[in-house]
Amino acid sequence: MRRDHRPYILKRLDLIFQKWYAERFLRPHFEGLGRGCTFMKPWHVEIFGGPVTLGSHATVIATPDRKVRLTVWSALGGEGRIEIGNCCLICPGVRISAATEIVIGESCMLAQGAFVTDSDWHGVYDRSLPIGHTIPVHIGDNVWIGDSAIVCKGVRIGENSIIGAGAVVVRDIPANAVAAGNPAAVVKYLDADRPVKTRADWLADPGALAAQFEEIDRHFMKDNTWLGWLRSLILPRRGD
């Protein structure tokens, strides 16, 4: 469909249900979950092992074919962990798999299908080893990891940097850099004279932002009806 045909009240009820579901069924799986987080389709978010912490005002988007998976599987007696900062965006299909430690700073964005791992997950010479060689991963504040990019063990990415779509990061990336390719390499640096607006800046007043989104929804859905919504499901037509 090209637009949302639901009556406005139905969308509001759906958002309330998703918030309730996340609180009831997801929160217990986190070691720590901040306030004001938004989960879209939270039943497609999978948390395995722990501890996993997620900061305040994060947005996590999952879909039936692109689940979000946050996994801690350690052979070190519970030493593995995942820590994700405030105001981060995690898109469909993101996988974060830790055997020792993955730390992601504030206001980071992980695009669809991105994969962050701190381990080989098998021994290079002994393929029966379930974990293999592992080195912590640290991603600085306000990093943007592009579609289907892979961040490998032992990598540090400096603040504000951008990792291009499909890149495979096997070595450190400095702050304020744009990196792309396989293996990823710096292709340019951000303009030091231009300020960078972060998701934390955008979410500085979450109440006002929520009111703005509500006003937009009311405007675009004001003519939606229950019969029109049902018709769009049963008898879709061109332009729906």
Secondary structure of 93-158 in the HEC alphabet?
CCEEEECCEEEECCCCEECCCCEEECECCCCCCCCCCCCCCECCEEECCCCEECCCCEECCCCEEC
Q: Out of 29, 122, 133, 138, which one is annotated catalytic?
A: 122
pLDDT per residue as tens digits for the range 63-113: 999 999 999 998 666 679 999 999 999 999 999 999 999 999 999 999 999
Mean pLDDT of 222-226: 93
Question: What is the pLDDT at residue 129?
Answer: 84
pLDDT per residue as tens digits for the range 181-196: 999 999 999 999 999 9
Where is pLDDT greater, at 143 or 4?
Answer: 143
Q: In the block, which residue shows the tokens 């990019």?
A: 149
Question: Is 122 one of the catalytic residues?
Answer: yes
Q: Rg of the Cα trace of the chain?
A: 20
Closest to 68 in 3D by CA, of 118, 20, 114, 14? 114
Global pTM reads 0.93
